[in-house]
Structure 1
Amino acid sequence: MARPHGNAKYHLENCRCPVCCQAARDYDNNRRRAIAYGRWQPFVDADPVRAHVRALGEFGIGWMRVARLAGVSTGGVSKLLYGDGPRGLEPSRRVRPETALKLLAVEPTLNNLGDRTAIDGTGTRRRLQALVYAGWTQSELARRIQMNRANFARTIVSSLVEVATLKATRVVYDELWRVDPVAWGVPVFRAAASRRIAVSNGWAPVGAWDDDTIDTPEAFPDWTGRCGTPQGYSAHSYYKVPACQPCRDAVNADRRSRRQVAA
């Protein structure tokens, strides 16, 4: 089921459409105001806190989990959201500031998200593809992240992955990115076959990614150390690596510029 456009899609799927951007701004502004209001008053408006807890639910963090993470009673959060059913009371109109601050402190970070929550798969794809380029077989990687082979084949090209898969992939990547798979028991012919698969699919090696940007959808692999520049295009030929799209774009732009100057 597709996630609707809004704050959760902005953060979990990196959607930057106007609807998602506005929802993310509204959420952040609401949370900041609520925190500021809660510093001095004996009771504060419950609406911003309730909106925050519901927003966390869109990220896959259920209200009971929010209560545990915040260290407040589940009964209090239930009344905040739904009221007191047996007594016929409406949802809370006010909450104590300390309760509000604890609930507002819970954010949709990776550690707080549920394991089954769908999240952007950019970094997961790139890490797994880079390990295949290094010679690790897909079956061995699937075993290490505790996934069956069929699911792994989908994950390595998927736009969305579950949080549990993302976490497991990061652990495996940190363990293996500097390790020679052959030295760890992968047969030479299987390592070579993995590299051929990676090359044929245009997957980038570990060295082409920066740790700070590997999870950023807009980032591109730097195969040559000069990718995205006209010089990078020539470097591809030198290293006998097919030219990447940023280098093709850069050299074409440079050629157009030269033609305009010549004219």
Structure 2
Amino acid sequence: MSAGCGCGDGAGQVTRRGMCKLHYDRLRTRQIAYGRWNPRVPGDAVRAHIETLGAAGVRPGQVAHLAGLGHSTISRILANPGGRVSDRIQAAILKVAVPEHAGDVTADNALVPILGARRRVQALVAAGHPASRIAREIGVAPNSATMAALVGKRTDGQTSGRSITAERERAVRAVFDRWQWVPGQSARARAIGARNGWPLPLEWDETAIDDPHSRPEKARWTPASAREERRDHVDRLTSQGLTAPEIAERLGINIRLVERDRAHHRGSTDTESTAPEPTSRDEVQAMGEVAAKARVDIAARRQPARRRGGLERTR
């Protein structure tokens, strides 16, 4: 950069915006008079917002993209604590909302934290869904490094990955949303989940499952509670306009069971009855699957509890 003033006379020493103090002060006075002066403001609020976005999984480069700024601008703000920024840059950065899921606001190939996706995969395995089936649903090979990271395995002596692409994270969330209400069929998967102490899907608060500081709440599973949860899910999807075949496909149950749950809901809203509801063969099968899962969970928990000479709560 030339030592001369940006106005071109070469007489003054450059201070701000490529101008000497004389010409910079003239510009400032003129812009204030026109109401167009954009002063620089403390960057504390901007830096704090970038850090909050980072904690939510939005990396600095992604913040720059969402704010319509250059990557170097964000880097410069973070590298200069106590520095100032223009009000234009401040407004652009503060306008970027903190997302519930980083994958919702980033490009498909952008990297986001893997924790929430890993917890969802582990919960589905604990509920009886094999990891190989989950892998096929999200479009990765069962023996891939991505799947190893999602189930929390160590590779080459190193801890499993901390990041996943936004596209994969969204795919995992979609599978979890479809299967979290449906007991899986694999006793081996349930045993793996019990051996590793992985929580079941409904033991996670969906608003906190991505929070590194959140913890699951142990639940007590019974056939009746599973039935009520399924009916609530059928009712919610029905209110969204989904057909019985669409609901059956999403929940992994047959159409007759969906129609029965719908009929139960209509009957419960039309009239109240104390007579016990007859149980269909399909419902008996669903209840049996939940009971079998509960027995496997209880047996797996009792064995280590006996060795410790103590008792442990069951799910």
The TM-score normalised by the length of structure 1 is 0.49
Name the larger-Rg structure. Answer: 2
The TM-score normalised by the length of structure 2 is 0.42
